[in-house]
């Protein structure tokens, strides 16, 4: 018997699987993802899974007619493969975090009448999770009152690193492992000002942008730590006093767990504008700042540095429940 985990494509989805997996170390875990996206990068070498499979799939949304036809054909073929894998490993429950990577295994679970537990990380429910929600054995969301579990699954290290910020001495820019053009550009504009103020810079510029970003900082005469994909994000967040970040759900909750105040600049083309609604959830509680890309200015950002970080930092630590991943793990074990 096994617990099958599926979904991904992006780090936001995969971070949930990683957090829940930590609570199931002695279980027979199987991972089914996609050859596209970041699935292999995250779990290709992970020894915590008894077996891992990466199927040929791609997203259906934002495709042309021919692209949709191809995607649906790939989905059908991958669903048949997923059914065979669920039977082979005697799956007792499937845990899906959404994204195109999860579609074949989620559909296979319902066809085979295997319990399907879905985690939706965003305030705006994704299209696939919205489709499958009525058929899920359990649907988990930190934003829904009816959710059986409200705590978000964040790795323990982020809670362990939590502390209250008061003065901004280090700023971290988080554009995700793929980078964010708008956040990168803002970082370069702010770098000389931060340098004059003695503020250190940590910058996740994106895997493809690391070399270029380092050269720009060198030309500016600014010493900055630049990276793309990393397994040390918790430590970088621990060191920072203020973050300027996209508003993917995992980033948002990890920042909250470690008590790090943030200005969120949501990706404007995210499906359903979900990053905006993620950030809005915190901003409406006066626990974060929120700006659209077209609202950004250096003056606005600099003004935030003089705001009271203490209040937001403490508020963030009090609003995040610590045992989200453990609660989800216990739910899966009930099957």
Note the pLDDT tens digit of each residue in 121-136.
998 898 889 999 999 9
Give tens-digit pLDDT for 40-78: 888 877 778 999 999 987 665 666 676 667 777 778 889
More confident residue, 250 or 289: 289
Q: How much is the pLDDT for 182?
A: 94
Has residue 17 got a pLDDT over 70? yes
Q: What residues does 117 pair with on adjacent strands?
A: 95, 138
- Check if 2-154+322-333 and 157-319 are the same fold: yes
Which helix (H) or strand (E) segment holds residue 226: the answer is strand 224-227
Whether pTM exceeds 0.85: no
Give CA separation, 234 vs 5, 22, 70, 192, 212, in Å. Answer: 23, 15, 39, 26, 24
What residue ranges do the domains of the chain occupy? 2-154+322-333, 157-319
Q: How much is the pLDDT for 321?
A: 84
Q: How much is the pLDDT for 84?
A: 97
Which CATH code is given to the segment(s) 2-154+322-333?
Answer: 3.40.50.2000
More confident residue, 69 or 93: 93
Residues 171 and 179 sit within 8 Å (Cβ to Cβ): no
Helices (H), 63-204: 65-88, 103-111, 127-132, 156-160, 181-197
The mean pLDDT of the chain is 91
Helices (H), 199-323: 210-220, 233-239, 249-257, 274-283, 298-304, 309-319
Q: What residues does 54 pair with on adjacent strands?
A: 33
Has residue 267 got a pLDDT over 90? yes
The confidence band for 195, taking pLDDT boundaries of 50, 70 and 90, is very high
More confident residue, 230 or 224: 224
% of the chain residues with pLDDT over 90 = 69
Q: How much is the pLDDT for 62?
A: 60
Helices (H), 44-135: 65-88, 103-111, 127-132
What is the pLDDT averaged over residues 137-148? 93
Has residue 301 got a pLDDT over 90? yes
Domain 157-319, CATH among 3.30.470.30, 3.40.50.970, 3.40.50.2000, 3.30.365.10: 3.40.50.2000
Q: How much is the pLDDT for 61?
A: 61
The confidence band for 310, taking pLDDT boundaries of 50, 70 and 90, is very high
């Amino acid at each position: 018997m096994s617990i099958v985990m599926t979904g991904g494509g992006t780090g936001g989805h995969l971070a949930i699987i990683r957090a829940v997996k930590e609570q199931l170390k002695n279980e027979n875990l199987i991972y089914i993802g996609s050859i596209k996206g970041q699935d292999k990068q995250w779990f290709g070498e992970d020894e915590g899974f008894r077996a891992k499979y990466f199927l040929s799939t791609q997203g259906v949304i934002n495709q042309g007619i021919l692209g949709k036809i191809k995607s649906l054909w790939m989905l059908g073929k991958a669903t048949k493969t997923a059914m065979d894998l669920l039977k082979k490993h005697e799956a007792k429950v499937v845990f899906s975090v959404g994204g195109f990577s999860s579609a074949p295994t989620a559909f296979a679970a319902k066809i085979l009448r295997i319990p399907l537990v879905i985690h939706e990380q965003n305030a705006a429910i994704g299209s696939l999770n919205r489709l499958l929600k009525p058929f899920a054995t359990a649907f988990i969301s930190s934003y829904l009152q009816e959710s059986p579990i409200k705590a978000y699954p964040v790795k323990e290290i982020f809670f362990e690193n939590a502390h209250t910020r008061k003065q901004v001495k280090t700023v971290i820019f988080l554009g995700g492992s793929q980078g964010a053009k708008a956040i990168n550009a803002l970082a370069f504009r702010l770098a000389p000002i931060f340098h004059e103020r003695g503020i250190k810079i940590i910058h996740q510029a994106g895997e493809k942008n690391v070399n270029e970003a380092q050269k720009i900082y060198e030309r500016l005469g600014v010493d900055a730590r630049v990276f793309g994909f990393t397994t040390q994000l918790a430590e970088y967040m621990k060191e920072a006093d203020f973050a300027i970040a996209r508003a993917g759900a995992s980033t948002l909750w990890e920042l909250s767990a470690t008590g790090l105040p943030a200005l969120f600049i949501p990706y404007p083309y995210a499906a359903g504008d979900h990053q905006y609604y993620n950030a809005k959830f915190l901003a409406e509680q006066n626990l974060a700042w929120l700006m659209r890309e077209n609202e950004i200015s250096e003056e606005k950002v600099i003004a935030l540095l003089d705001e009271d970080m203490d209040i937001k930092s403490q508020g963030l630590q009090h609003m995040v429940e610590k045992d989200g991943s453990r609660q989800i793990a216990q739910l899966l074990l009930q099957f």
